[in-house]
Chain A
Amino acid sequence: MAAMVVKTPSTIDELLACMKDADENTYYISGGTDFMIKLRKNRIYSGTIIDLKGIPALRYIKKENGIIRIGGNTTFTEIVGNKIMQKHAACVVQAASQIGSTQIRNAATIGGNVANAFAGADSIPALMVLDAKVVVLKSDGESYEKDMDGIVLGAGQNSLGHDEVIVEIQIPVLDEGYRTAFAKIGSRSRVTIAKLNMAAVVKCRGDGSTIEEARIVLGALGPKAFRSGKAEEVLVGRTISKDLCMAFQNALTAQVDESIASRSSWAYKREAVKGLADEVFDKLFQDVLTGGRA
């Protein structure tokens, strides 16, 4: 059996050269926080590890022509502390700030989290709800864009070929009037893997009282995150109120019933989702509910 090899490109050109020989035993790593556990647990002793993290050109956050571009190597610590993200992608910042611990966020990257395609990943619903696009680089130097739903196939599966790497995440900047939020529930309040998570984008009418548009994405409810039409329907055209929050909770319980009724976690999640709904609703509309915009 061939021994393990680690390739350490520091530029895109060097990366392309490494990708040319890629096969089913090639492992691309960025932060490595998920991979290092798999390497040991799955007893991987041969193959090629290509370390993307040593490529500084894949580490950036910039806003250009109404799009936020995030390099695949950008860490969650960098996302949490970034002013562009705080201003235009609050739900991604909220998700990033709740991923793992400080040590994990210092290492783990957004490209890695998407590629890992874990069902309970926190960045995935937050990016999906913002209609983020993923830019994939191929070994021939060409690249293509795909939406999150096309990349994340579910339960640890992504659509990427052996010679394809996520290099950038693109988030369209929302107009004024949109609000976003993310929340999660795990077995404890911090440093926890989501049992359920949710990201929301809503657009309110000018005076902030009525919801004109809503996108709700649920994660950790089945193999991959998805939009909940049931939860969106109940919000659109309605006035923001405590009653609406209850209707939102009930719609989400109905969504859990539809999605995972045969699972052992069903009884828990159909109740727990109400607490999650309450938190998301509060984050979205706290200022409206308490009177006066913040």
Chain B
Amino acid sequence: MELDMIVNEVEYHLDIDPRLRLLDVLRDYLKLTGTKEGCGEGECGACTVIMDDLAVNSCLVLAHQARGKRIITIEALEKDGELDSLQKAFIDHGAVQCGYCTPGMLMSCKALLIKNPNPTEEEIRIAIEGNLCRCTGYTKIIRAVQEAAAQK
């Protein structure tokens, strides 16, 4: 079945199996493998991408539901070789260890900052409540988001 969507500002015309998830299309068709699959049931947030400015679990979106939508994945945060301020803040604060949750975590935080450039700590916690990290813990991540927000 044909599917048109915009991923990281690029228009795609695809012909895909109708059962596929947005996650499968991003990873297997577009080779945007920065988006990770963790639990596959909306629990861990590793697959988080931004769809029309909102964070969603790409494992719970039928690919065809993304028709005509604007999708942003982790690959688009870096611009011209320069990391996004949020990515830099994650590095500076040691908010990355094994890194598996990081793309999803960054996309949840990015979606928050798009909507709310000056979030409170509570708002940051709610934004990442659907992202599990099993090594760094959340405090360093929250500090990194606060710093990225302060820089703007």
Contacts and interface: CB of A to CB of B under 8 A. Distances in A.
B13 interface: no
B130 A101 contact: yes
Contacts of A103: 42, 45, 48, 55-57, 60, 108, 130
A59 B48 CA distance: 23
B127 A102 contact: yes
A8 interface: yes
Contacts of B43: 191
A83 interface: no
A3 B18 contact: yes
A106 interface: yes
Contact of B62 (A3, A29, A77, A102): A29
B67 interface: yes
A106 B55 contact: yes
Interface in A24-76: 29, 32-33, 35-37, 39-40, 44-45, 49, 51, 53-54
A100 interface: yes
A1 to B, nearest CB: 13
Given A51-B62, A107-B61, A37 B18 contact: no
Contacts of A45: 19
A53 B65 contact: yes
Interface in A161-207: 190-191
Contact of B18 (A33, A49, A53, A104): A49
A105 B48 CA distance: 13
Instruction: Sort chain A's interface into a size bin.
Output: 20 to 34
Interface string B71-88: 000000000000000000
Interface string B1-44: 10000000000000001110100000000000000000011110
B59 interface: yes
A101 B61 contact: no
A77 to B, nearest CB: 7
Given A32-B61, A54-B67, A40 B40 contact: yes
A100 B42 CA distance: 9
B145 to A, nearest CB: 13
Contacts, number: 85
B54 A106 contact: yes
B126 interface: yes
Interface of B is mostly: loop
Interface in B45-70: 45, 48, 54-57, 59-62, 64-65, 67
A39 B129 contact: no
A51 B3 CA distance: 14
Contacts of B18: 3-6, 49
Interface of B: 1, 17-19, 21, 40-43, 45, 48, 54-57, 59-62, 64-65, 67, 108, 111, 126-131
16 contacts: A4-B19, A5-B1, A5-B18, A8-B67, A32-B60, A37-B60, A39-B19, A39-B62, A51-B62, A101-B42, A101-B131, A102-B55, A102-B127, A104-B57, A106-B54, A190-B129
Q: Which 7 A-B pairs have the closest CB atoms?
A: A101-B130, A106-B54, A6-B18, A6-B64, A33-B60, A103-B57, A103-B130
Given A4-B18, A37-B60, A49-B18, 18 more contacts: A3-B18, A4-B19, A5-B1, A6-B18, A29-B62, A32-B62, A32-B65, A35-B62, A36-B21, A36-B59, A36-B60, A100-B130, A101-B130, A102-B55, A102-B126, A102-B127, A104-B42, A191-B43
Interface of A: 3-6, 8, 29, 32-33, 35-37, 39-40, 44-45, 49, 51, 53-54, 77, 100-104, 106-107, 190-191
